[in-house]
Chains A and B, each alone.
Chain A
Amino acid sequence: MRIESDCNFDVNLVRQDFPILSKQMNGKPLVYLDSAASTQKPKSVINAITDLYSNYYANIHRGVYLLSQLSTDKYEEARLAVKKYINAQSEKEIIFTRGATESLNLIAYSYGRYFLNEGDEIIVTEMEHHANIVPWQQLAKEKKLVLRYIPMNDNGELLLDEYEKMLSNKTKIVSVVHISNSLGTINPVKYIFDKAKEFGAVTVLDASQSIQHTQIDVQRLNCDFLAFSGHKIYGPTGIGVLYGKLDLLKKMEPYQTGGDMILSVTFERTLFAEVPGKFEAGTQNIEGAIGLGAAINYVNNLGIENIAKYEHSLLDYATSRVLEIPQVKIIGTAQEKASVISFIIEDVHPHDVGTIFDKLGVAVRTGQHCTEPVMRHFNIPATTRASFAFYNTIDDINVFINSIKEVISIFD
């Protein structure tokens, strides 16, 4: 209970905002330790969506009637909330997408295809999620580019010396994960991007795991593009964000074409809309954007600093408890870590761990976490991953530790 009193919010009060947390699973109280895969939703997000459909729903950017204007206003308010949250210069720099994956694909397609040439180089890291590898691989194949990977050590920390040796005038894009989803490592992205800028490279931040844990200031970080998904920051699925510097977005080609992203269409030619409209073809995910806006407001009300501090104390407590169990090995032991513990239990496959945990009411992720190269680095088939959010408690972690012990006793 020491932890709760150190921080500026009451976890038991916060938990009441999340209806799902009072559910039972397999006859046991739900202990949800899979927030790195997707976060649960507070009532304010659920209510924002219900409110939209109950009170002011219509298609946006189209109708001259009041209802359409009301939903358009709310949609654009959400864009403003995102702009403020990541400290972008203009709301025109915020593009709504389906998620981080689509945002990264959009950059590869609409920037990479038009501005990179044969022999140019892209740098990513060994710990990327597949979503920040495969779009660049496809682009490299098409345009005959070179894709380089910043290696890491066995703690899961990037080897920055190796990175600096890779940089040259050929480096056109440096795209880096802020917090590793499978290791929890917080990468020194400010340093990485400052170095990239010395060679004039475009910088891309995959903020999927950091947007909900830490304050992000795109201007301070020297970040040209940033991608994240709404469902990782307590918002709905199917909505995400691409941030891009205005001058870059303006010169880029559209990703998809169709309705709402045009100024004028004739049989001969089309004039595209200004950003961000140019990148939002077709009817958008209106409830997704409005739900995301509500989620950001919720996080702002708690205060991202408070969240970060509390989650870090959960990580410290859980790590110290896990280390007491000799049969368990933590994968990912970086100095700077977010609230993720990936681990393996001696002689027990993660899927057996996952099934036993589930019977005990504990939801964790098992597998490769869409980071197969990370698994290869550590020469393991998969891990079990527990990830903690601000709605988790010390009791949750105690149940988690007891579940590990139960697994060990079954397989003993």
Chain B
Amino acid sequence: MSELNELYQEIILDHNKNPRNWGIIETPSNASEGFNPLCGDHINLYVQIENDRIIDIKFQATGCAISKSSASIMTTLMKGKTLDEAKEIYNEFHEIITHGCADSELSNENLEIFCGVKDYPSRVKCASLAWHTFLDAIDKNNNKGN
């Protein structure tokens, strides 16, 4: 069972059960909705950006443990970051999910849980959904509050 424990680590199971930043921002500066039609995963993501800094981020989602916990971890990493910092974290995540973890140190230890996902090709989309949705939300820069 060791291989399974690698994917379903305690931290993933914890974020799945108790997702952080769960909920809605009533009038967010940015927002986006993501779907994974293959498995029915669905996420609504709300971001509050002020002076190029993410001052609040919340989400609501239905889906598997991988997609839900990935969304939860993503929000904890992005909250408080500038947009440039956020894009760097996104790029690092993207590198990990497609190529795995190199020997170089990760910017945040929480990213480590994604190191094994590339070995489960059918689950990469689950892990990426929230992150793609995040990129879409901050790139659009459309005011969802009005």
Chain A residues in the interface with B (C-beta under 8 A): 26, 348-352, 355-356, 359, 366-368, 375, 381-382, 406, 410-411
- Give 3 nearest A-B pairs by CB, closest first: A349-B64, A351-B64, A381-B40
**CB-based nearest B residue for A412:** B13
Q: Which of A350, A366, A410 contacts B8 (CB 8 A)?
A: A410
Q: Give the docked Cα–Cα distance between A348 and B39 (Å).
A: 14
10 A-B pairs with C-beta separation under 8 A: A350-B64, A351-B63, A351-B64, A352-B64, A355-B120, A359-B3, A381-B40, A381-B62, A410-B4, A410-B8
B40, A410: Cβ atoms closer than 8 Å: no
Contacts of A26 in B (CB 8 A): 3
Assuming the A-B contacts A382-B39, A382-B40, A411-B13, are A406 and B1 also in contact, with contact meaning beta carbons closer than 8 angstroms in the complex? yes
B8, A356: Cβ atoms closer than 8 Å: yes
What is the CB-to-nearest-CB distance from B40 to chain A, in angstroms, rounded to a whole number? 5
Assuming the A-B contacts A349-B63, A352-B64, are A367 and B39 also in contact, with contact meaning beta carbons closer than 8 angstroms in the complex? yes
Q: Is B65 an interface residue (CB 8 A)?
A: yes
A366, B123: Cβ atoms closer than 8 Å: no
What is the CB-to-nearest-CB distance from A125 to chain B, in angstroms, rounded to a whole number? 22
Q: Is B25 an interface residue (CB 8 A)?
A: no
What's the tally of chain B residues with a CB closer than 8 Å to chain A?
Answer: 19
Q: Give the docked Cα–Cα distance between A359 and B29 (Å).
A: 43
Contacts of A348 in B (CB 8 A): 65
**CB-based nearest A residue for B63:** A349
Q: Give the docked Cα–Cα distance between A348 and B38 (Å).
A: 17
Residues 23-43 of B contacting A (Cβ, < 8 Å): 38-40
18 more A-B residue pairs beyond the given contacts A351-B63, A352-B8, A359-B3, with a C-beta to C-beta distance below 8 A: A26-B3, A350-B39, A350-B64, A351-B126, A352-B64, A352-B65, A352-B66, A355-B7, A355-B120, A355-B122, A356-B8, A359-B4, A366-B39, A367-B38, A367-B39, A367-B40, A406-B1, A410-B8
What is the CB-to-nearest-CB distance from B95 to chain A, in angstroms, rounded to a whole number? 23
B62, A351: Cβ atoms closer than 8 Å: no
Contacts of B63 in A (CB 8 A): 349, 351, 381
B65, A356: Cβ atoms closer than 8 Å: no
Interface membership of chain B positions 120-131, coded 1 if the CB is closer than 8 angstroms to chain A and 0 otherwise: 101100100000
Q: Give the docked Cα–Cα distance between A351 and B1 (Å).
A: 18
**CB-based nearest B residue for A372:** B40
Assuming the A-B contacts A349-B64, A410-B4, A410-B13, are A355 and B123 also in contact, with contact meaning beta carbons closer than 8 angstroms in the complex? yes
Contacts of B126 in A (CB 8 A): 351
Contacts of B40 in A (CB 8 A): 367-368, 375, 381-382
**CB-based nearest A residue for B122:** A355
Assuming the A-B contacts A356-B4, A359-B3, are A351 and B13 also in contact, with contact meaning beta carbons closer than 8 angstroms in the complex? no
B8, A351: Cβ atoms closer than 8 Å: no
Q: Give the docked Cα–Cα distance between A348 and B66 (Å).
A: 11
Interface membership of chain B positions 121-146, coded 1 if the CB is closer than 8 angstroms to chain A and 0 otherwise: 01100100000000000000000000
Q: Give the docked Cα–Cα distance between A355 and B5 (Å).
A: 12
Q: Give the docked Cα–Cα distance between A192 and B102 (Å).
A: 62
B39, A351: Cβ atoms closer than 8 Å: yes
What is the CB-to-nearest-CB distance from B27 to chain A, in angstroms, rounded to a whole number? 29
Q: Give the docked Cα–Cα distance between A381 and B64 (Å).
A: 10
Interface membership of chain B positions 1-25, coded 1 if the CB is closer than 8 angstroms to chain A and 0 otherwise: 1011101100001000000000000
Q: Give the docked Cα–Cα distance between A406 and B4 (Å).
A: 10
What is the CB-to-nearest-CB distance from A222 to chain B, in angstroms, rounded to a whole number? 38
Contacts of A366 in B (CB 8 A): 39
What is the CB-to-nearest-CB distance from A367 to chain B, in angstroms, rounded to a whole number? 6
Q: Give the docked Cα–Cα distance between A382 and B126 (Å).
A: 15
**CB-based nearest B residue for A26:** B3
Q: Give the docked Cα–Cα distance between A351 and B70 (Å).
A: 15
What is the CB-to-nearest-CB distance from A51 to chain B, in angstroms, rounded to a whole number? 35
**CB-based nearest A residue for B120:** A355
Interface membership of chain B positions 46-81, coded 1 if the CB is closer than 8 angstroms to chain A and 0 otherwise: 000000000000000011111000000000000000
What is the CB-to-nearest-CB distance from A373 to chain B, in angstroms, rounded to a whole number? 14
**CB-based nearest A residue for B17:** A347
Contacts of B13 in A (CB 8 A): 410-411
Q: Give the docked Cα–Cα distance between A410 and B65 (Å).
A: 12
Q: Give the docked Cα–Cα distance between A181 and B14 (Å).
A: 34
Contacts of A349 in B (CB 8 A): 63-65
What is the CB-to-nearest-CB distance from A135 to chain B, in angstroms, rounded to a whole number? 20
What is the CB-to-nearest-CB distance from A62 to chain B, in angstroms, rounded to a whole number? 42
What is the CB-to-nearest-CB distance from B70 to chain A, in angstroms, rounded to a whole number? 13
**CB-based nearest B residue for A348:** B65
**CB-based nearest B residue for A375:** B40
Q: Give the docked Cα–Cα distance between A359 and B4 (Å).
A: 7
Contacts of B62 in A (CB 8 A): 381
Q: Give the docked Cα–Cα distance between A349 and B7 (Å).
A: 15
What is the CB-to-nearest-CB distance from B100 to chain A, in angstroms, rounded to a whole number? 18
